[in-house]
Amino acid sequence: MKEVLHNYAGIIFLLLGITIGSVIGIVSPGIVEYIKPLGDIFLNLLFVSVVPLVFFAVSNSIASLEQQSKFGKIILVMSFTFLFFILTAAIFTICAVYLFPVSGVSGSSEAVVETANEEGWGNRIVSFFTVGEFTALFSRQNMLALLIFAFMTGISARKAGEKGQSFRAFIASGYEVMKELLLLIMKLAPIGLGAYFAFQVATLGPQLFGFYAKPLGLYYIAGIIYFFVFFTLYAFMADGQNGIKSFWKNAVYPTLTALSTCSSFATMPANLQAASKIGIPNSIANLVIPIGTTLHKNGSSMSSIIKIYVAFLIIGRDFFEPTNLLLALGITVFVSIVAGGIPNGGYIGEMLMISVYKLPQEAIPAIMIIGTLVDPLATVLNAVGDIVAAMFVNRFVKV
């Protein structure tokens, strides 16, 4: 019980902060303006730490990942499998929010001012992927350009061979330092988000609780359906009826481990044990599951779509516009793959979302809260999905 409480401490403290903030917003709305700066301070600290963390984390992960790429065919099939599963989860969630829409909060679009400008599509494409000055890379307004630069830096560091060893050590060290900085800042999340929630309750009223409950309920219902239906389908595609029986017979222990620890990394030993019992060769399981723990996130894919959808509801924009949907899928792939190995990587995805869609920063607290509250089920989908991914790779790669 102590271990479970320790693993869920972050969620418990966040809920406590939200609860206190809600009470303040309802009982004493007059003092909200005095505590809202606490939320602003938290967001500003988050902004300044995320940008360097993204650069170090992405460049370091790419430089390190290439060292594991000698198993060419396994890596290729594994990459397509991860991408297929992640996009399937995202598209399924888009269908869910389309069929069961959530109504926005009355007055939210007025409370949050939209900052998107009306520049041409060609200029938007250029600004999404590139910037004109090196210093402009390190702005949260240009996250996508920073990601591309970090990706190419990681590849170049790897190609530099022995001469690039010092630089690779530098970005690896930088990643560890910035990771610890983000973890330190996130300790302030209950206070910062509690202050913002007090402001939202005071501004928008108690109807805000219903607004959060609906997307959360939708995520948990869609996530449970995905867990049972799609994982069964993937297991069948991997090994027919025998695959279904083997998967569900051995998936119980990893599922319970993911729920109790709320950690994909803590579930990895249980996944490896389950893969061995299913009959997946070690040469595949020992590659797919460890890499999948970092780069393969079905639950994160689904939560990314929900968070983008909620952000659009808050500012009163149409999420289902084709351009917005395509960008949502792109952001989701990044959040599920590249940001998967970064602590609180979902928050980095939210920064990217704000940058690409030109959304106001006031939308961030709402989607951070939702991202935290869906974390238990998201962890189960992320972790257990690695087993069925290993089965899928084994289907197409005979070793």
Residue percentage of the chain with pLDDT more than 90: 20
**Model pLDDT, residue 220:** 94
How confident is the model at residue 88, as a pLDDT?
A: 94
> In this predicted model, what pLDDT tens digit does every residue of 288-307 receive, in sequence order?
887 787 778 899 899 989 98
Mean pLDDT of 317-322: 87
- Is the predicted pLDDT of residue 127 greater than 70, yes or no? no
The winner for highest mean pLDDT among 74-78, 146-150, 388-392 is 388-392
Q: From CA 238, how far away is CA 388, in angstroms rounded?
A: 8
Residue 248 · residue 384 · CB < 8 Å: no
pLDDT of residue 241: 93
Q: What angle do CA 301, 305, 308 make, to 5 degrees?
A: 135
Choose the weakest-confidence range: 134-138, 219-223, 358-362, 369-373.
358-362
Query: Which of 64-68, 187-191, 203-207 is the least confident region?
Result: 64-68
Higher pLDDT, 348 or 220: 220
How far apart, in whole angstroms, are the C-alpha atoms of residue 264 and residue 328?
Answer: 24
Half-sphere exposure of 28 (CA within 13 A, CB side): 9
324-368 confidence digits (pLDDT tens):
898 888 888 877 765 554 545 556 666 667 767 777 766 677 777
Nearest to 352 by CA among 79, 30, 53: 53
d(CA 7, CA 267): 13
Alpha-carbon distance 171 to 151, whole Å? Answer: 12
- Predicted pLDDT of residue 173: 94
Q: Give percent of the chain with pLDDT exceeding 70.
A: 79
Q: What is the mean pLDDT of residues 139-152?
A: 77
Name the more confident of 390 and 334: 390
Instruction: Report yes or no on whether pTM surpasses 0.95.
Output: no
For the residues 139-167, what does the mean pLDDT come to?
Answer: 83
53 against 143, higher pLDDT = 53
Give mean pLDDT, residues 213-241.
93
Q: What is the pLDDT of residue 8?
A: 67
Among residues 84, 65, 71, the alpha carbon closest in space to that of 392 is found at: 84
Q: Is 90 exceeded by the pLDDT of residue 199?
A: no
Mean pLDDT of the chain: 80
Structure confidence at residue 139 (pLDDT):
74
Most confident of 127-136, 217-226, 359-368: 217-226
Whether residue 110 is predicted with pLDDT greater than 80 in this model: the reply is: no
What is the structure's pLDDT at 131? 78
3-state secondary structure the chain: CHHHHHHCHHHHHHHHHHHHHHHHHHHCHHHHHHHHHHHHHHHHHHHHHHHHHHHHHHHHHHHHHHHHCCCHHHHHHHHHHHHHHHHHHHHHHHHHHHHCCCCCCCCHHHHCCCCCCCCCHHHHHHHHHCCCCHHHHHCHHHHHHHHHHHHHHHHHHHHCHHHHHHHHHHHHHHHHHHHHHHHHHHCCHHHHHHHHHHHHHHHHCCHHHHHHHHHHHHHHHHHHHHHHHHHHHHHHHHHHHHHHHHHHHHCHHHHHHHHHHCCHHHHHHHHHHHHHHHCCCHHHHHHHHHHHHHHCCHHHHHHHHHHHHHHHHHHCCCCCCHHHHHHHHHHHHHHHHCHHHCCCHHHHHHHHHHHHHCCCHHHHHHHHHHHHHCHHHHHHHHHHHHHHHHHHHHHHCCC
Q: What is the pLDDT of residues 55-86, one digit of tens each?
A: 887 788 677 754 444 446 777 888 899 899 99
CA–CA dist 200, 363 (Å, integer)? 11
Tokens of 316: 């009163």
Contact criterion met (CB below 8 Å) for 318 and 301: no
What average pLDDT does the segment 358-383 reach?
A: 79
Cα 173–176–179 angle (5° rounding)? 145
